[in-house]
Structure 1
Amino acid sequence: MHTRTWILGALTAWAFLLPATSPAQFVANDARLLASGCFQCHGTNGKSGAFDALAGDGKQDMLNKLNDMRKKSAGSSIMVPHARGYTSQQLDMIADYFSKQK
């Protein structure tokens, strides 16, 4: 019994040593991770890529374009499979991320 009490106490103490991460930080990191799939063509953080910059574009405008791309035929644009590869929630997170980049 003494050993179990010691282990439980040690685990509890260890948990307090872990860095605290708020849910908002997870969402911000998730959005950046999702948006990183765009960096190859649109530049890091949506700036200075080979194609259109996305940084600072309006969220709703970007969402409308992405949703329109999802409806096009598969071979019509390189963006079609990219837009189809994300859920609506993920596209919302990506558009929100880029809209907040300066």
Structure 2
Amino acid sequence: MQVRRIRQTIATCLFSSLCAFATLCHSQSPQAITLYQRSLAATCANCHGTNGKGVVDGGMPLINNITSEQMLAQLKAYKSGALEGTIMPQLMRGYSEEQIEIIAQQLGKKE
């Protein structure tokens, strides 16, 4: 139970930081926009690892083997409640549709 609370606290802090960062980057240079896009996707590394292989025995699935389209569909399903999860539905409700598309594009498997 405490681990779950810690994860939720970390996720909330990260999301708040990204929101603040997003306002700074809104009408910035292309480099700032790229940094913003990468920072959105980087939040996923907290649970899924920097290589997208998940966390062994941590219940965090592998995400480095799906395309951007597949990832986008899953993230939208979490946001809408069509797909259940522990923290993903809560996290996705905090992102806009545009942010979810950016995350999927950044993390999806490139073919």
State TM-score, norm by structure 2.
0.58
* 1:71 aligns to 2:76 (yes or no): no
Structure 1 segments of 4 or more deviating over 4 A? none
Gaps of 5+ in 1: 1-20
Gaps of 5+ in 2: 1-27
Is the helix fraction higher in 1 or 2? 1
Shift of 1:76: 5.2
Greater RCO structure (CA 8 Å; 6+ sep):
1
Instruction: Determine which structure has more spread, i.e. the larger CA radius of gyration.
Output: 1
Question: Aligned residues: percent identity?
Answer: 30
Shift of 1:54: 2.2
1:38 to 44, 47, 68: 44
Compared CA separation, residues 99 and 85, structure 1 to 2 (3 A): same
Q: Find the aligned partners of 1:29 and 1:100 in 2 and give their Cα distance.
A: 19
Shift of 1:62: 0.6
Question: How many pairs are equivalent?
Answer: 79
- Counterpart in the other structure of 1:17: none
